Amino acid sequence: MPELFPGSTPQSAYRESLIASILEKPFGIYGAEVCQACGKVKTFHGWAGAMATHRGGGAFVCLDCSRVPGAMAAGRGNFCEICQGPAWETDGPGGRKYLCRPCRAALGRARPGQRAEQALAHLSPRRNLELRATEDLETLDFNTEVMHLEEEQANAQALQRRQELESEASARLGARHRS
């Protein structure tokens, strides 16, 4: 069984540092999950990608399989989100994460009291990053850092402008009350 936490595959120290840095600065919707039609770990990117691969909020079906009519019906069954082996149970009513019994037990020991959906929330974005080339991770780390700095700068500018407007409004009110 693969290591449950923190990731699904071993990474070099440099790649691990990039992945950790990116995960600290959320930047959008992306992930990699086990396709419930073919059993392979596949990725999705952006809101449209997430919607296309999780129809109706249901189980993940990769874009390749979703383009094949009847792919789910022709599939071999459901696949464990951790080991990719056969799995027949979700994490409860309305659940969309399939787990085999050994992985369910291991997950229960690692994250007691949590539903699989909650406990595995970190796995999808991490797997997506693990599947990317190192150069892509470097670019993504740089871009997310720039994006967060720009956001902080915009927030600081907005706060400054708000304070200026409040000061102007207060001065106008004070002048009106004095006259």
Tell me what the mean pLDDT of segment 120-139 comes to. 88
Mean pLDDT value across the chain: 81
Contact (Cβ atoms closer than 8 angstroms) between residue 86 and residue 36: no
Alpha carbon 167 to chain centroid distance? Answer: 42
User: What was the pLDDT predicted at 6?
Assistant: 46
| 14 vs 17: CA distance, rounded Å | 5
- Is pLDDT above 80 for 116? no
User: What was the pLDDT predicted at 159?
Assistant: 86
| 35 vs 102: CA distance, rounded Å | 19
Per-domain boundaries in the chain: 1-132, 134-179
Q: Which of 74, 58, 65, 19 is nearest to 40 (CA)?
A: 65
List, for residues 43-77, the tens digit of each pLDDT value. Answer: 998 888 888 888 766 788 898 988 887 666 555 56
List, for residues 158-170, the tens digit of each pLDDT value. Answer: 888 888 888 888 8
User: What was the pLDDT predicted at 134?
Assistant: 92
- DSSP E strands, the chain: 30-34, 41-45, 78-79, 86-87, 89-90, 98-99
Please give the backbone phi and psi of residue 111, each rounded to the nearest 5 degrees, phi first.
-135, 70
